[in-house]
Every structure is written in C-alpha cells, then in structure tokens.
Structure 1
Amino acid sequence: MASDRVAVPSRTESPGWVEVVLRVLGTGLLGLWWSRPSAMRYRRRRRSECAGCAHRYHRVMRVLIVLVWLQMVGIVALLAYGARPPTCQPPSLSSYNGATRYVTPTHDWVIPVRQVITAGNSGLALAYGKALGGQFCDYVPNGTLLGRMKDGFARGGTTYGHTYLTSLEPQLVYSDMAPVMRHESRHTDQWALFTLLGGPVAFPLAYGVDDVFAPGPYNNFERDAGLADGGYVLPDTPSPTTTRLIVAGALFAIFFFERHRVRRQVRLAKLLVHRLRIAEPPWWYAHTEPVTPGPAIGVVRRVSPAVADAMTEHRRLQQLGCPDCGAIGY
C-alpha cells in the first residue's frame, strides 16, 4: 500500500552535534533537555513529514546562531576590555578599615563560577559601556565590573551579568557602597542561575515579564535582591499584580475565544492593503456585491476620501464567507 505522506524537500541540515551545541549555549540546561536522543529523532521525523515543522526548525536554528554569536562577541569584548581591569579605589574620605575592605577580595568559589556563566552578557554590557565612554574597574569584594557612566542605564544603575553600570557620582565610602553592591551581587546570582537554566536571554525575559505585573519595588527579583539595599522605598500600598493579572487574563480569554474572528479580520486587512497597492479590480469583486456608502462613510469622505474608500472596501470584504471559522472562502 502506497504511503499517503507527502515528501518534504529537505534542506541541508547541520550535524546533530551542532544542533546540540547551539541549543545548550543558547538555552542552557533547557536546551540539553531538548537535545535528548529521543526528542531529536522525533523532530527529525517530523521535519521529514511536515514542511511547516522544517521551516520552524530552521527559524529556531537561526535564532540560536544569533544568540550564540552575540555571546561569543561578548566573551571577546570581556577578554579585550575586562581581562585585567584596575581595582576600584576607595574614596579619599574612607576610613582605614573601610578602605581596606574596599580593596580586599572575597575568596568564594561562587564568584568565578558566575563570572564564567555570565561572561557573554557581561562582555556585551562592557562593550556598550565603553562605547558610551564608561570608566570600568573591578570591585573586588564581590567580583563585579563597575562601570561609571554619564547615562545609558536605568534607575540608579543596571546589572548585566556581573557588569554593573551606574553614574559617575557620588563616590560612596565602603559602608554606603556595600549594601548597593550586595544588592547587585544578588542580581548577578539571578543572571547566572537563569542563564544556566534557560540561556542568556532567560533572566531579562523573566525580569521583564515580572516587572509588567509587579513594577518597581513590587518586582520579585528586586525583593529577592533586597529592596533596602537597592535604595528602593518600601511600598505601603497594595501590589497592582492581582489587578494586572486579572486584566491580562481577561484579554487572553477574549483573544482565545475570539481568535477565529481576529484571524479573519487580520486576513481582511491584509487583502485590503493589497487592494490599495494594485490598480486592477481585486478577485473578490466577482464574489461580492457593491456597497452603498452609509452616512458615516459620507462624513469621513469629506475629510479623507482615501480613508472612506478603504472603509467601503472593508464593508464589501465582510460579504466573504467564513466556512471554517476564520478562513476566508474563495
């Protein structure tokens, strides 16, 4: 019995080990899970049977190549600019004990491990800071690359990997600097953990999503790093997280249950845009009846005839059927 599967023309694919390397470097331990032999065999079989699966595979590979390439650029920048940075010096007003602690390194195995894990993102931030004229030094108590800049960072400062970008002033003594750097060191731990689990973009994505629903001092990553150490004012108002989650859930539900109508309107809009680009009558004129403009379109025509014509075309497009809940019948 002949097989009813449709053969999909195969592109030249990378060897299996290349895919494993890209997935691990691009998505961390999650990529290692995706690189299980059974999972790779399943995806290879799907690509041979499904053209869409093959296209998605190549898109994913291109994204992973870009991610890994950026990490390599960051590592090169880190080796070029931050391999042997000068040690951050304490301000002149520091006490003897404060100045000593300012330049005394901490012997903790966690510091070099997280520096290796976050090397790519740290190097990209270092190159970015150098491009903006930043001055960098090594804050040896926690192994953070401290970059002082005029601007180009968020809030009082921003940590990328183990690179901390902040302002030129003020120069803080150790007793004032220690809480801030302790806060940023915890952010470095978060960068390292998420990079190890999900790749170099895992932490910024997680932080961004969390900040949408829990902004500022309500952000769970900031709370984990210590609000007081980071200079945040402790909030005394209810968190907006619940309200935002309810709104997001309602929008998702509307989109999910009305996705067929949304898809149909998007297709109609694409047809309308295509209609405006061509001179000859479109194909749907043979399947629809002319539309008599209503009063609203007449009012719009006085202001913009082009918009009125587009509204008329859209009303005519509405006559097309929707036999499979969203697809336009031809």
Structure 2
Amino acid sequence: MLQPSKMSPEDWRKQKRDITVMISLGLLIVMAFVLSMNTGFIRLSPLDTLRTLFGGGTAKEELILFDFRLPRIVISVLIGAGLAVSGCIMQGISRNALADPGILGINAGAGLVVLLFVAIYPTTEAAPVFMLPILAWIGAGLTAALIFSLSYKRHKGLLPTRLLLTGIAVAAGISAATIVLTLRISPEKYQFVATWMAGSIWGTNWNFVLALLPFIAVLLPFVFCKARMMNVLNLGEANAIALGARVSREQIVLLMAAVGLAGSCVAVSGGIGFVGLIGPHVARRLVGPKHQVLLPTSALTGSLMVIVADMLGRLILQPSEIPVGIIVAIIGAPYFLYLLARPSS
C-alpha cells in the first residue's frame, strides 16, 4: 500500500474520487434494496417493512418479505456482482471490449447443463438446488474451454476478433440444442424453460441464496487479489512475459474464476445477458482501467443494474412480471450495437 507521503496531489484526487464513486454506488444499491422490498403486487409501506424486519409484522407480511422478496433481492445483488466481475475478467484477459459471458456463449453452456438437469429432476428438491451451481460451472467450463481453444494461436495468444466470432458461433449452436431440448420436455417444464431463457430470477428462496453465496464469497475476493496481475496482462503478452508473469497460467486461472462466477449465477438467474458487458464499461468510465478499483466498481455497478431491473420488472406490468433479462436487454442491446459501431481506439 502506498504511503501518503509518496502520493502526488493528482493521485490523492484520483483516489478520493474513486472512493466517492464506490460509496455513491453502495448508497444507490441500499436505496434500491429498500425500494425493492416495498415493490410488488402486494404493497408494503416503508413503515410496514421496517416493522416486519424487527418482528412486528403480521404472518402475511412476514411471508411476503422474508420468504419471497428478501431472497430475490439478495440473489439480484449477488448475480449482478458475479456477472459483472466475470465480464470484467474476460475483457481484461482477452483485451476485447466486447467480451462478455453471455455474448461468448459461457452463459448458454451453463444454461444447457442446468436445463438438462431440470428436465430430469424437480428443482424444488433440496439436493438438486445445491447441485445446480456445480453443474452450471461444469457446463460453462466446457464451453469456455472449447471457445478459448479455438481462439488461441500458439505464437499470437488470444485473438480478440476470433474470440468474439467463435463465442457467437458456439452460443448459436448451444441455443439450437436448447431449443431442441425444449421440444422434448413436458408442457409444465416448458413454461419454466421459456421463463428461464428470458432471464428470470427463478431461484427465489433461501436455499438458492445458500447455493450461490459460497461461489461469490470465495471467487470475488480471489479475483480482487489478482487485480495487479490483470493490469500486467493488459500490457500484452510480450510485455507481461518480460515482467515475469506466467501469462498462460494466469489466464487459465482467471478464466476459471470467471467461468465459476458466470456459471453459478446462471444457475439461479437464467439467461440474463449484457450485465457482464455493460457493468465493466460503466465502471471503467467512472474510475478508469486500473483493476484494483475497476473490479469492485464493476461488482457494484452490476448489482445496481440487476436489482433495479428486477424492481422495474415487478412494477411495470403488475400483477404480471417482466423477466429481468428483458429489462437488461432493452438497455444492453443498443449499447452493444454502439460498441460495435464505435471506431476502435
């Protein structure tokens, strides 16, 4: 950690601004969290919510708040952070501004394995719930291995354009396999699959929170500790090797972390795209490219995006709900087209 005496005035201003940005994002998440507890078909006033939190609510209010809304809100925060940090890792190690677990097909690979499992076992059983993140990680890992093996050149490393095109092609193939799978399941499970593919937060009880939390709690701190290495990798393979970095090893380790985050989040959130693309880009505009600050800011930005999208989805067409993935896609698709059309720097 730098000593205050060694920091220039410009460094101090930059650090102060970065801290202010992260605190502001944290306060916005808290505000969205509180508003989301009051949002739904059955409205709870702020006073009712506060009373229920401290044990003074009716049985109906406790059921609504503790069994339905709080697990869903907590999951929104966790998957937003996980998907955004996963996208930030992929953009960093591939040096491709368009890299994202959804666009590259990582989410689709995780989702295909989850849907195969759901087609066989009921998701309400306790054991399958805790197995879903592991199965999603396996599906995401196999997909990532395929994409990166096809994109890697021995003497050139990862080629950004080839990575993007390969990911899109693999995602299209997996999506086709998913559609074929939906034709062979029961009508009841088809309804679930259709909702899942639209990006609905379907894991809305505390079992899903407990299944997802270990992945987020372990992988996020691990990735934050790798921030300096990601800065080195951004310099390019030749420069990173010259600085003593084991490039291939570090890329594989970081890729596994990104796959673990994306896969575990997809297991409980369905096919929510663009969070891993938009979150890091917004964070980079706010705090710059230094990963020590970029990674936690991406996590906060992603959490804010998903929790607000979920709240809007429950509010706009009451009593019906709009899946979170649709709300995010309304913002994400135009932004993706903007990135494609923007001249490369």
Question: Normalising TM by the smaller chain, what interval?
Answer: under 0.3
Q: Which has the higher helix share?
A: 2
Q: Normalization by structure 2: what TM-score?
A: 0.24
Q: Normalization by structure 1: what TM-score?
A: 0.24
Larger radius of gyration: 1
Q: Tell me which of the two structures has the higher relative contact order, counting C-alpha pairs closer than 8 angstroms and 6 or more residues apart.
A: 2
